[in-house]
Amino acid sequence: MKRSHLLLAAAAAGALVLSGCSSASESASASGTVNLLGPEDPATFAPVIEAFEADHPDITIEYTQVPFDQYSNTLQQRLGAKDDSIDVYAVDQPNLSQLAAQGFLEDLSDLEDEARAATSAAQFDINVYDGRMWALSIWNSTQMLFFNRDALTAAGVEAPPVDPAERWTWEQVVEAGRATQDAGMEYGLLFEQVEAYYQLQPLAESLGGGSGITGDEMLTVDVTDDGWQEAMDWYAETFESGLSPRGVGGFQTSPVFMDGDVTFFIGGPWDVGRFANDVDFDWGVAPMPYFDGGEVATPTGSWSWGINTASKNTDAARQFLEFAALDAAGNLATTEATTIIPANSEAAAEYLPGLEELGGEHTVGIADLITYEVENTAVARPVSVGYVQFESAMNRAFADIRNGSPVASRLDQATTQIEDAWSKLR
């Protein structure tokens, strides 16, 4: 999704920073071609490539896109074949530990101090496996509570505030959502990624259930404790009661909010531009809720970049990677054509005011909200060599639970499935 002209101010600010900023390894001599592999449209990374090449005339960046639904398998095949035509590649953060364990990522631990200073604690930690750092964070994310203000007004309900100190509980959301249904709204609540671990993990975390993966080697399944059971009982009830619709899944959910058919919608910063351009009712944004008496937990994470161990041009690859992640202007350039949060904290500070401007009166305070969540409430997905199998099994369990499967037995089944898959990793 392209950024509207209202974000050009942030991009311009980034350009000013760029003119006075250099890559962390600019002094090192390197040349040649760096091949970058990722799932994004080439236009997304054109600004950062252009900026880097302007400062490093002896290095050329060649970007190759692999569609997202093919990316993971293609990456595994090419890395497994020791394909040296890949130098830098996009790492879906939950998959980092598996890629590192397979020997597909260069050790970047010598950059730990710079990386820790450049980003949030959660975004630093997600790149660490077995005590070493294997990639650098490029993008970040969070989730927020979007709401239909017109629906709340019609039901006589005051809208939730954007201030994290006045964050609503899930219990308040359910009560308000049902009140709007009584006033004529079709649905009260909908998650954008309605069957995805990324968005549902905070439910269990808020109730003390943890991430679902424990143990010294992070290969012990733990999704049947009281926190997970209570969280999934609540999740199941939202569908059983009709508060949430069962017939919509994946990223087909945002049109339900945009059409004015649901009061509360859990979504990300990428929704701001879409809603600003295509929603014709009054809407607003508030912090992601938590359970009464529980902990505040919000999703985080996105994409990191790493260096292929088979690369034959690692010096130039490191210069490009450091520019894109550790240089604030370089990292800002990676977001010039997309509404995603830069992982670099300084770049995010440049970017977020433009995102707030994009939403106008609907998103007043969103820049401070996102900054607060990233720094204080973000809970990363667990770092485990078995995460891919875990996520796949849990997403299937979420789908079944929302469609009526008994929670306890379905979580037991997921545990067995994950343990069977992990037995091959031990």
Identify the CATH number of the domain in which residue 90 sits: 3.40.190.10
The pLDDT value recorded for residue 289 is 98
Range from 8-17, 178-187, 224-233 carrying the lowest mean pLDDT:
8-17
What proportion of the chain, given as a percentage, has pLDDT over 90?
88
Q: Give the per-residue pLDDT at 28.
A: 52
Same domain assignment for residues 96 and 165: no
Alpha carbons 62 and 114: distance in angstroms, whole number: 26
- Residue 24 pLDDT: 41
- Judge whether 25 lies within some domain: no
Residue 329, pLDDT score: 97
pLDDT in tens, 330-347: 999 999 998 899 999 999
What is the predicted pLDDT for the residue at 3? 37
Q: Are residues 307 and 294 in the same domain?
A: no
Contact 135, 304 (CB under 8 A): yes
- Going from the C-alpha of 302 to that of each of 121, 158, 341, the distances in angstroms are 14, 33, 9
pLDDT greater at residue 252 or residue 244: 244
Reported as a single tens digit per residue, the pLDDT across 283-333 is 999 999 999 999 999 999 999 999 999 999 999 999 999 999 999 999 999
Question: In this structure, are 249 and 309 located in the same domain?
Answer: no
Q: Is residue 36 part of a domain?
A: yes
What's the whole-number average pLDDT of the chain?
A: 92
From 362, 379, 396, the end of a domain falls on: 379
Number of domains making up the chain: 2
Domain limits at 215? 145-300+383-423
Question: Is 179 in the same domain as 252?
Answer: yes
Asked whether residue 232 is domain-assigned, the answer is yes
| 87 and 152 in a common domain | no
Q: Which residues contact 147 (CB under 8 A, 6 or more apart)?
A: 159, 160, 263, 264, 265, 283, 284, 285, 286
**Same domain as 272, residue 214:** yes
Residues 333 and 279 occupy one common structural domain = no
DSSP 290: B
- Residue 19 has a pLDDT of 33
pLDDT at 27 over 50: no
pLDDT in tens, 175-213: 999 999 999 999 999 999 999 999 999 999 999 999 999
Q: Assess if residue 12 is contained within a domain.
A: no
Per-residue pLDDT averaged across 3-20, rounded?
34
Q: So what's the pLDDT on residue 37? A: 98
Same-domain pairing of 178 and 212 = yes
pLDDT score, position 6: 35
Q: How high is the pLDDT of residue 252? A: 85
Those residues whose C-beta lies under 8 Å from the C-beta of residue 259, and which sit 6 or more positions away, are none
What contacts 89, CB < 8 A, 6 or more positions away? 36, 37, 38, 75, 79, 305, 306, 308
Identify the three-state secondary structure at position 224. coil
Q: Are residues 153 and 51 in the same domain?
A: no
pLDDT at 107: 98
Which of 412, 347, 382, 312 is closest to 137 using CA atoms?
347
pLDDT in tens, 263-281: 999 999 999 999 999 999 9
pLDDT at 78 over 60: yes
The pLDDT of residue 136 is: 98
Establish if 98 belongs to a structural domain: yes
Query: Are residue 161 and residue 213 in the same domain, yes or no?
Result: yes
Residue 84 lies in a domain: yes
Look at residue 247 in the predicted model and tell me its pLDDT: 87
In a domain, 6, yes or no: no
25-43 mean pLDDT: 83
Cite the DSSP H helix spans in 4-111: 8-19, 42-55, 68-80, 96-101
The answer as to whether 22 is a domain residue is no
d(CA 288, CA 184): 24
Check whether residue 288 and residue 413 sit in a common domain. yes
Same domain as 104, residue 39:
yes
CA–CA gap between residue 116 and residue 17 (Å, rounded):
21
